[in-house]
Structure 1
């Protein structure tokens, strides 16, 4: 499978000339199945979702599924601003993390996407939409096996994801506090060919990481090592972390290795190939 990084920022978009090289859009990842030309699976719907249409090979409307890790603004804000999912020809299954005994998925999303907070509610999106509860454990989503499990992050139910296709494994944990260990999270990332993991805070920003339920970069590297992943790419960059500062961080990471390769920083627009071990 191929993984297209449409948004790699955390918390809020980061516009301006200091954020051009790594990109300013918030979390969104498109996944293209083997043998296909266009994505059929999207992970999170941050502002990076706006760029999905350019990846559809000339098609105007997306046909596939969007899986949300959680409902913080930076992971859903792109939904009503992406023409590719807001057309009569679109077909979208939106999978949301809903607590046990919680409201219907569309009603939960409507808490932040409806008047007076926004002009329309979820039902106002054009096309064939289904609002579904994410199933804990493995299930078939489009051409992929998607395993979902609750992981540590502040501010509501948050899922980590394991995506499998043709023996290749992608683990996606963009908002995760791994300090202290978690067997559930480690099972999601176990032996992954590619791990996209929260790297929002630096070692000296421990209090902020703990306060917001995120990882520090050393946390993420240690987590990847425990899980035996082949390739670690840090994402969900702090919105104030400029390109120059990320370049300095990347240089500091050059001596670190994960699965035989160096630790990498996610860059908006990059396409990563995920192959089976």
Structure 2
């Protein structure tokens, strides 16, 4: 699998010179077979526009898996040039929840007077469906979906496998809602461990530092230390710290990177836009 990081920021885009090196676009990860265009996208934040760039604007034919429906994970949909073409074919899968069909739920934020068009107005063959927990075959990958705690709507984490290698994706995760856990950041609970266990790569919410967490513990996100601890407990090969706070500057992310031990297990890196991992 080839994993493209197209948007790594959380909550809201972060424009400006102090966010250039790591990027200011919100969550979007594109997964491809080696050498092929991506066919499976995890979330559709403003980083979705970078998928069009890496495809040289060719029409997208594949699936977008949304972890949840917050703005920072859906804002890219109407600006996805490779999807908004007459010969594109895009399937959008949303965690199953009450409140309407998947298309109706998306239209809650993408419809007049909030936005000039609705999801069904996008060009090409678009479809919108609910997704349940469990095992699924999507675009030739095995995808395991589990509900994980996050604030403000049902949220899924995903494990994606090509039959040989696997990645776990928990972009927005609030384990602190389940209790203190061993280090005060929440427990390494069953769903998180099931998704991450022995994965080659764990892409995990790391919006807050340990020092910030006490005043932001109710905001619905994780700390760097929780992500690393989950990776170690689950036996993953690499932890990628993801969903950076929109105020976290490049220099601050550099400082976090410098604080990481080069000999740590698992290996830990900080997600940046246009980063590519071959798994």
TM-score by length of 1: 0.94
Match of 1:226 in 2: 233
Q: Is 2:29 aligned against 1:24?
A: no
- After TM superposition, the structure 1 = structure 2 runs for residues 60-79 of structure 1, keeping only pairs within 5 Å, are 60-79=58-77
Q: Deviation at 1:182? A: 1.4
Contact 1:209 1:216 (C-alpha < 8 Å) held by counterparts? no
Aligned partner of residue 54 in structure 1, secondary structure: helix
Deviations 1:15-57 (A, max 9, x none): 01000000000000000124x421011000000001111222x
User: Structure 1 pair 152/20, CA: closer, same or farther in 2 (3 Å)?
Assistant: same
Match of 2:197 in 1: 190
Contact 1:20 1:243 (C-alpha < 8 Å) held by counterparts? yes
- After TM superposition, the structure 1 = structure 2 runs for residues 171-250 of structure 1, keeping only pairs within 5 Å, are 171-178=168-175, 179-250=186-257
Correspondent of 1:266 among 258, 267, 271: 271
Contact 1:45 1:66 (C-alpha < 8 Å) held by counterparts? yes
Q: Distance in 1 between matches of 2:190 and 2:33?
A: 28
Correspondent of 1:138 among 135, 139, 145: 135
Q: Distance in 1 between matches of 2:16 and 2:271?
A: 18
Aligned partner of residue 93 in structure 1, secondary structure: strand
Aligned partner of residue 226 in structure 2, secondary structure: helix
Identify the range of structure 1 (249-258 vs 13-22) with the bigger mean alpha-carbon deviation.
249-258
In the TM superposition, structure 1's runs of 4+ consecutive aligned residues that sit over 3 Å from their partners are none
- After TM superposition, the structure 1 = structure 2 runs for residues 56-135 of structure 1, keeping only pairs within 5 Å, are 56=55, 58=56, 60-99=58-97, 101-135=98-132
5+ residue gaps, structure 1:
none
Q: Deviation at 1:209? A: 4.1
Contact 1:65 1:93 (C-alpha < 8 Å) held by counterparts? yes
Q: Deviation at 1:256? A: 6.2
Q: Distance in 2 between matches of 1:69 and 1:209?
A: 21
Q: Distance in 2 between matches of 1:55 and 1:146?
A: 23
Q: Deviation at 1:223? A: 1.1
Contact 1:136 1:147 (C-alpha < 8 Å) held by counterparts? yes
Equivalent residues, number: 269
Q: Deviation at 1:208? A: 4.4
Contact 1:201 1:208 (C-alpha < 8 Å) held by counterparts? no
5+ residue gaps, structure 2:
176-185
TM-score by length of 2: 0.93
Q: Distance in 2 between matches of 1:84 and 1:59?
A: 5
Aligned partner of residue 30 in structure 1, secondary structure: strand
Aligned partner of residue 258 in structure 2, secondary structure: helix
Q: Distance in 1 between matches of 2:215 and 2:272?
A: 23
Aligned partner of residue 151 in structure 2, secondary structure: coil
User: Structure 1 pair 193/16, CA: closer, same or farther in 2 (3 Å)?
Assistant: same
